[in-house]
């Protein structure tokens, strides 16, 4: 047993620590502490229990006894020794891992006692810090002080959590905390006091101890931990008040579980050289556990005379502390059996002891720091008593120490013994598959993104190459075509050149051949003579022309000057005439418009409604006051001459053209002028004006003039001969102005009345043009169309009755019948009259009867025969109906009587 060694002055040493420089230096260095061979491949290190002693400052009462104290206790922190004077010549000296005087700050206590343990916990070890001592010796101050008012007073728990939080990564690591108290072998949850009988569960495989019934708080920050401590402390006070006991009668345990990922392990790297998934190991997760135990006060354990509840309480505390001491002792002795099951305290700390019935070294061992807080008063009283009792107990060196803490010999000696516990510590590590999966997923995502990016680059490259190839092929093709074309041109040129050369050669040969032939045959002499003569003539003529040119050039230009002057005079005269003529034309035009009722002389050309007749277009003739106009026109006609007026129809000045065509139209309205106009070429000019698409006024007036000329049978033939029907049909198709259409329809209607022109008129589209104009619903236009149809039907009827015509009516062939039937009862009397006549004429020829019946014309004929206002037409209809067998039979069938 390696405890301290006593001499006369009773010096007790720890052999293992003799050569140690400091408490901290005895902890295994972070990377050197591991050795392979522990369970699950976890690393193990050796360690032992460390013991420090701390004296708290004296309180008021103690200050009174201060005089004695200096004589009894001698702290030698630099030697890590505590000397207790037995008497003037004898003393006992105890050696610790740390000796902390009353001046030691909380920070220093934390750093020398707890910080190394916390560091070990962060590396995956289990670590425990326990405080042992009498009530009031400063256990809670040392461990659990919050330092709300004075941060320098923060205790080990607060500082430990600060350190842990500073050394973990919130993303990957976690901290969970339980806060418990153990009283009378019952474990109570200080975070949920109602839960006061928590059972301990031990994992048979790993030896891990857990408390499934205890509340576990995840700690994210210091505030939440402080809140937890306050809550636990409040619950502890409340629970103890309820139990009517003191706080120091229970053990308080703070259990901090730390899970920390290992990121910088060599074996787990995802560097570029080692990306193979097969080489990957899951990231390691280190699990450390820190237990901070505020042990129950030891002062009453020994007390004789304790009874009832107090006795039970004392026994319980005695039991747990004794069990704790035994376990530590067993570990110090390397005993194969560590009696952890003797109390709940030792069972709770089991995974910190490493108890195993079979193999001590395969289970976890833990770092301990014991802070022994000493009550100076008791120490002194012990000291005083020791002189008198001179007590010597089982444990040679520790009985004095134990007495100093009021007699728990076993516990005290074993706690002291704890300083030599040395064992194997095992890092608790496990594979963090979750994190690995996450990392792998990220890696896969990254690889996929990279792959996609490369794919895109590849596709773009392919597309670029394709386009490039396409461009090159197109260029090659173009070059080829150009080269081909060039070659072809060159070949053609060569060919042409050779042909030319051949032709020249051939011509030369031919000439030679001819000359030879002539010479040889003596023929053609006469031709040569003739050619020579012609050449001579030509030469003479050219000479004469040259002479004349020379004469003209050489100043014999008097005659020429005269001619030029004469021409200039004539030109001026003509211009004057034109000017007079223009003004006269304008004047006449205005007068004519006024006479016709055009207020502003504009070209509106509105006809007087209802003035249609079977004859020519009356509006072209002036009626009222026509004498004056006619006189003006006659005057003009006589003064200027018709030829000049007609020439003005082709003037470049649009106004002149309009005036001119008006004058011509007015002249054409007089029968006496018509022949002259036609003779002077006026009809041709007027027909040409129908082509003046841009000027509707000119077309309208020209069409009116043509219509007037078309009243004359001779002119009708001329109009047809000059292609007039085509021009009229064309105008009928493209004109929109109703008055233009009216003039055109009037002109065609007049032509329709010519028996000789029937066939040609129809073949050149006259009937269709006429029918096409019904699209304009203007009654004047419809009236002219109806007149034309009536005229045509009349001619056909005449020809049929004369036997010169056979077959069905051309009007029916050209589809005129529906319109005829539709307008047979028109409200416009003129239209109605023309259509009624047309129906009567069509009905006279038996061959039309069937079509007329099927087209509904029979009903109209019957109506005409009964209701027509004109007696002659009524009679004609009746006659027609009665004379046609077809109509008769149909009428009979329909039981209609005419």
Ligand X SMILES: Nc1ncnc2c1ncn2[C@@H]1O[C@H](COP(=O)(O)OP(=O)(O)OP(=O)(O)O)[C@@H](O)[C@H]1O
Q: Does the annotation list 144 as a binding residue?
A: no
Q: Does the annotation list 134 as a binding residue?
A: yes
**DSSP conformational letter for 242:** H
| Interaction of residue 251 with ligand X, rule CB under 6 A | no
| Interaction of residue 47 with ligand X, rule CB under 6 A | no
Q: Does the annotation list 138 as a binding residue?
A: yes
DSSP three-state, residue 259 = strand
144: exposed, middle or buried (Cβ count in 10 Å: 0-12, 13-18, 19+): buried
| Interaction of residue 234 with ligand X, rule CB under 6 A | no
**Footprint of ligand X on residues 128-147 (CB under 6 A)?**
133, 135-141
CB of 247 to ligand X, least distance (A): 5
Q: Does the annotation list 549 as a binding residue?
A: no
CB of 57 to ligand X, least distance (A): 5
Distance from C-alpha of 563 to C-alpha of 23, rounded to nearest angstrom: 147
**Footprint of ligand X on residues 813-872 (CB under 6 A)?**
none
CB of 138 to ligand X, least distance (A): 3
Estimate the crossing angle of helix 671-679 against helix 713-721, to 10 degrees: 30
Distance from C-alpha of 447 to C-alpha of 272, rounded to nearest angstrom: 12
536: exposed, middle or buried (Cβ count in 10 Å: 0-12, 13-18, 19+): exposed
Element (H, E) at 373: strand 366-374
In contact, 703 and 740? CB cutoff 8 Å: yes
Among residues 111 and 696, whose Cβ is nearest to ligand X?
Answer: 111
> Of these, 178, 248, 685, 797, which contacts ligand X (CB under 6 A)?
248
Among residues 132 and 407, whose Cβ is nearest to ligand X?
Answer: 132
CB of 252 to ligand X, least distance (A): 9
Count of residues in the chain: 898
DSSP letter string over 812-833? HHTT-HHHHHHHTT-SSHHHHH
Q: What angle do CA 262, 266, 271 make, to 5 degrees?
A: 100
CB-nearest residue to ligand X: 138
Distance from C-alpha of 230 to C-alpha of 235, rounded to nearest angstrom: 8
Among residues 140 and 318, whose Cβ is nearest to ligand X?
Answer: 140
Q: Does the annotation list 697 as a binding residue?
A: no
Tokens linked to 473: 């092929």
CB of 99 to ligand X, least distance (A): 14
Among residues 295 and 678, whose Cβ is nearest to ligand X?
Answer: 295
Among residues 137 and 784, whose Cβ is nearest to ligand X?
Answer: 137
**How many Cβ atoms from other residues are within 10 Å of residue 847's Cβ?**
15
| Interaction of residue 155 with ligand X, rule CB under 6 A | no
> What are φ and ψ of residue 261, in 5° steps?
-80, 150
Distance from C-alpha of 342 to C-alpha of 286, rounded to nearest angstrom: 30
**Footprint of ligand X on residues 373-432 (CB under 6 A)?**
373
H-type helices in 418-432, by residue range? none
Among residues 145 and 287, whose Cβ is nearest to ligand X?
Answer: 145
Binding mask 449-488 for ligand X (x = CB under 6 A): ----------------------------------------
> What are φ and ψ of residue 802, in 5° steps?
-80, -10
Among residues 59 and 627, whose Cβ is nearest to ligand X?
Answer: 59
| Interaction of residue 77 with ligand X, rule CB under 6 A | no
Among residues 297 and 779, whose Cβ is nearest to ligand X?
Answer: 297
Among residues 73 and 840, whose Cβ is nearest to ligand X?
Answer: 73
> Total number of residues binding ligand X (CB under 6 A)?
14
**How many Cβ atoms from other residues are within 10 Å of residue 381's Cβ?**
16
| Interaction of residue 232 with ligand X, rule CB under 6 A | no
The CA distances from residue 602 to 582, 593, 667, in Å, are: 17, 8, 19
Q: Does the annotation list 133 as a binding residue?
A: yes
CB of 133 to ligand X, least distance (A): 5
> Of these, 12, 13, 50, 56, which contacts ligand X (CB under 6 A)?
56
CB of 90 to ligand X, least distance (A): 30
In contact, 661 and 634? CB cutoff 8 Å: no
| Interaction of residue 57 with ligand X, rule CB under 6 A | yes
Complete edge-to-edge strand list for the sheet that includes strand 81-85: 11-12, 91-95, 81-85, 73-76
> Of these, 11, 91, 178, 247, which contacts ligand X (CB under 6 A)?
247
| Interaction of residue 245 with ligand X, rule CB under 6 A | no
Distance from C-alpha of 547 to C-alpha of 810, rounded to nearest angstrom: 72
CB of 175 to ligand X, least distance (A): 25
**Footprint of ligand X on residues 293-352 (CB under 6 A)?**
297
CB of 297 to ligand X, least distance (A): 4
Distance from C-alpha of 50 to C-alpha of 509, rounded to nearest angstrom: 139
CB of 139 to ligand X, least distance (A): 4
Which residue in the block uniquely carries the two structure tokens 């053209």? Answer: 657
Among residues 106 and 739, whose Cβ is nearest to ligand X?
Answer: 106
- Point out which residues bind ligand X (CB under 6 A): 56-57, 133, 135-141, 247-248, 297, 373
Q: Which residues are annotated as a binding site for ATP?
A: 133-140
Q: Give the annotated binding-site residues.
A: 133-140
């Amino acid at each position: 047993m390696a405890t301290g060694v006593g001499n006369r002055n009773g010096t007790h040493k720890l052999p293992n620590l003799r050569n140690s420089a400091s408490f901290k230096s005895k902890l295994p260095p972070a990377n050197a502490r591991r050795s392979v061979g522990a369970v699950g491949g976890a690393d193990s290190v050796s360690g032992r229990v460390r013991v420090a002693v701390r004296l708290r400052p004296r309180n008021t009462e103690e200050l009174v006894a201060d005089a004695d104290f200096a004589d009894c206790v001698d702290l030698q922190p630099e030697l890590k020794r505590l000397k207790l004077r037995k008497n003037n010549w004898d003393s006992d000296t105890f050696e610790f891992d740390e000796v902390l005087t009353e001046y030691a700050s909380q920070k220093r206590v934390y750093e020398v006692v707890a910080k190394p343990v916390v560091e070990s916990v962060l590396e995956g070890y289990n670590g425990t810090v326990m405080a042992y001592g009498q009530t009031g010796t400063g256990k809670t101050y040392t461990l659990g002080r919050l330092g709300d008012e004075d941060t320098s007073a923060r205790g080990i728990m607060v500082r430990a959590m600060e350190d842990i939080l500073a050394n973990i990564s919130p993303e990957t690591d976690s901290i969970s905390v339980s806060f418990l108290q153990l009283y009378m072998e019952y474990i109570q949850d200080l975070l949920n006091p109602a839960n006061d009988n928590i059972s301990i569960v031990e994992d048979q495989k790993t030896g891990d101890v857990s408390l499934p019934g205890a509340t576990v708080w995840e700690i994210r920050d210091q505030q939440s931990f402080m809140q937890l401590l306050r809550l636990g402390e409040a619950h502890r006070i409340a629970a103890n008040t309820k139990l009517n006991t003191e706080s120091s009668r229970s053990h308080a345990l703070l259990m901090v579980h730390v899970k920390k990922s290992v990121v910088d392990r060599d074996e787990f790297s995802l560097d570029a050289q080692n990306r193979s998934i097969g080489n990957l190991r899951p990231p390691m997760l280190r699990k450390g556990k820190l237990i901070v135990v505020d042990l129950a006060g030891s002062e009453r354990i020994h007390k004789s005379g304790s009874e009832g509840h107090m006795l039970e309480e004392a026994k319980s505390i005695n039991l747990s502390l004794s069990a704790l001491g035994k376990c530590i002792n067993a570990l110090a002795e390397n005993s194969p059996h560590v009696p952890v099951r003797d109390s709940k305290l030792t069972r709770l700390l089991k995974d910190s002891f490493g108890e195993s019935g079979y193999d001590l070294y395969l289970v976890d061992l833990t770092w301990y720091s014991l802070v022994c807080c000493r009550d100076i008063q008791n120490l002194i009283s012990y000291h005083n008593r020791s002189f008198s009792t001179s007590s010597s107990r089982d444990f040679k060196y520790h009985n004095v120490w134990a007495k100093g803490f009021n007699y728990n010999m076993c516990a005290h000696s074993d706690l002291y013994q704890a300083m030599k516990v040395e064992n194997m510590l095992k890092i608790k590590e496990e594979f963090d598959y979750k994190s690995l999966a996450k990392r792998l997923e990220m890696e896969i995502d990254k690889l996929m993104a990279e792959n996609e990016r490369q794919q895109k680059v590849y596709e773009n490259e392919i597309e670029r190459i394709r386009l490039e190839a396409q461009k090159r092929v197109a260029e090659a093709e173009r070059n080829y075509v150009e080269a081909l074309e060039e070659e072809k041109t060159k070949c053609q040129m060569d060919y042409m050149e050779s042909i030319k050369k051949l032709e020249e050669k051939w011509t030369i040969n031919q000439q030679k051949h001819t000359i030879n032939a002539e010479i040889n045959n003596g023929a053609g002499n006469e031709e040569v003579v003739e050619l020579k003569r012609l050449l001579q003539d030509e030469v003479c003529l050219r000479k004469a022309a040259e002479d004349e040119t020379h004469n003209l050039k050489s100043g014999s230009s008097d005659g020429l000057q005269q001619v030029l002057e004469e021409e200039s005079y004539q030109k001026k005269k003509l211009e004057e005439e034109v000017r007079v003529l223009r003004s006269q034309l304008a004047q006449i035009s205005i007068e004519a418009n006024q006479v016709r009722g055009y207020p502003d002389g504009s070209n509106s050309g509105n006809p007087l409604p209802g003035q249609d007749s079977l004859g020519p277009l009356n509006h072209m003739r002036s009626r009222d006051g026509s004498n004056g106009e006619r006189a003006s026109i006659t005057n003009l006609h006589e003064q200027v001459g018709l030829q000049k007026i007609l020439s003005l129809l082709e003037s470049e000045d649009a106004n002149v053209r309009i005036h001119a065509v008006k004058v011509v139209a007015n002249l054409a309205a007089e029968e006496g002028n018509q022949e002259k106009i036609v003779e002077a070429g006026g009809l041709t000019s007027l027909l040409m004006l129908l082509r003046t698409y841009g000027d509707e006024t000119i077309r309208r007036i020209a069409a009116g003039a043509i219509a007037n000329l078309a009243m004359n049978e001779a002119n009708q033939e001329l109009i047809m001969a000059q292609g007039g029907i085509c021009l009229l049909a064309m105008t009928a198709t493209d004109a929109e102005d109703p008055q233009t259409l009216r003039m055109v329809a009037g002109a065609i209607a007049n032509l329709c009345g010519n028996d000789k022109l029937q066939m040609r008129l129809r073949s050149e589209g006259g009937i269709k043009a006429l029918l096409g104009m019904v699209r304009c619903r203007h009654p004047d236009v419809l009236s002219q169309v109806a007149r034309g149809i009536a005229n045509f039907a009349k001619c056909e009827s005449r020809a049929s009755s004369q036997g010169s015509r056979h077959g069905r009516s051309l009007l029916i062939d050209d589809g005129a019948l529906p319109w005829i039937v539709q307008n047979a009862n028109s409200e416009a009397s003129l239209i109605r009259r023309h259509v009624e006549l047309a129906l009567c004429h069509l009905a006279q020829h038996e061959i039309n009867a069937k079509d007329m019946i099927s087209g509904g014309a029979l009903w109209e004929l019957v109506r005409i025969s009964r209701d027509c206002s004109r007696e002659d037409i009524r009679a004609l209809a009746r006659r027609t109906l009665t004379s046609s067998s077809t109509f008769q039979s149909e009428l009979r069938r329909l039981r209609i009587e005419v």
